[in-house]
Amino acid sequence: MFSSKTNLQSAQVTRMSEAQVKSVPSIISVDLKVQGNLSSNGEIQVDGNVEGDINCKALIVGTKGSVSGEVIAQTVRIHGAIKGQVKAKSVFLASTAQMSGDIEHESLAIEPGAFMEGHCKRTPAEAPKVAKPEPVTVKPTVQTQDVEAMPRAAAS
């Protein structure tokens, strides 16, 4: 009897704490240097130095931050430096950005003053799936002759 309420309350607290954890970004502070790959389902903010690949939902590279490696994310905001390939739906280069590498994107914005050396390739957004139209069949109609238009036999 009491255990069902406790389990329910425990499940609610777990869901609330998971939601809170997902909304907090992972931060690499200014004085931290990371050598290795980073992977997250949430947001990563790099104010320090990362030497390795980053795979996350959202990446923000601060003005003093730098990344050397491949970046794969939904959104990327660059205020600092990246050396390597970036693959993201949305990429923003601030006026302080130093980007050396290729960018694959759906959306790209570059502020005046940003440094960009590399190729930019736009990838098409996924087209909505449309059902294939079914072929239309037309049944031939039998043509009837107009009775009044037919010649009448002469009445005698």
In a domain, 32, yes or no: yes
Give the per-residue pLDDT at 94: 97
Give the per-residue pLDDT at 152: 59
Quote the pTM value: 0.68
What secondary structure, in 3-state letters, does the chain show? CHHHHHHHHHHHHHHHHHHHHHHCCEEECCCCEEECCEECCCEEEECCEEECCEECCEEEECCCCEEECCEEEEEEEECCEEECCEEEEEEEECCCCEEECCEEECEEEECCCCEEECCEEECCCCCCCCCCCCCCCCCCCCCCCCCCCCCCCCCC
Domain that holds residue 80: 24-116
In a domain, 44, yes or no: yes
Give the per-residue pLDDT at 128: 56
Number of independent structural domains in the chain: 1
In a domain, 9, yes or no: no
Walking along the chain (156 residues) 10 residues at a time, the average pLDDT comes out as 53 52 83 95 96 97 97 97 97 97 96 96 74 61 58 55
